[in-house]
Amino acid sequence: MATRVELCFEGLCVACDLDDTPCARALIERLPLALSFCGTGVALCAQLPFALPVKACEARCGWRNGDVGFKPQGTWLTVCLDDEENSARYGSHVVVGHVATLGDLAKLSGLVGTHKARLVCAAPHGEKNG
């Protein structure tokens, strides 16, 4: 069962569903997180201040647009926005989830350069995140 989280930049929040895997659960246990993302139009990348548990067999080359991934080399959290057809050239990563609404990818692709963000667990209906 997926866990809904929110990735919130100033003026823009998008929902992501994180998978029920050891790597994704370890990320969820560390929430909330304040991160600094670098946006390229193709992906948003933030270096995590910790490693996540991964098995070599979980890593794959390439992504699908909308994947949320973890790149163990450098402990990067990635939100893959575009260039799915050429994504194998970026090396391997472990998929930990997906942007919940693919329509949000266009909004996120406009975040070029450095942007502060918070990654938080989504509040149950009717409650607010702290």
pLDDT tens readout for residues 67-105: 999 999 889 999 999 999 999 998 899 999 999 998 999
Name the residue among 3, 40, 41, 43 with its Cα closest to residue 19.
Answer: 3
Provide the token pair at 21: 């895997």
* Beta-sheet pairing, 67-71 with 113-121: unpaired
Name the residue among 10, 14, 3, 6 with its Cα closest to residue 108.
Answer: 14
Instruction: Flag whether 57 is in a domain.
Output: yes
Instruction: Flag whether 23 is in a domain.
Output: yes
Instruction: Flag whether 128 is in a domain.
Output: no
pLDDT tens readout for residues 5-45: 999 999 899 999 999 999 999 999 999 999 999 999 999 99
- Indicate the number of domains in the chain: 1
Which CATH number do you get for residue 103?
Answer: 2.40.100.20
What is the domain range of residue 79? 3-121
pTM of this structure: 0.91
Q: What is the pLDDT of residue 57?
A: 82
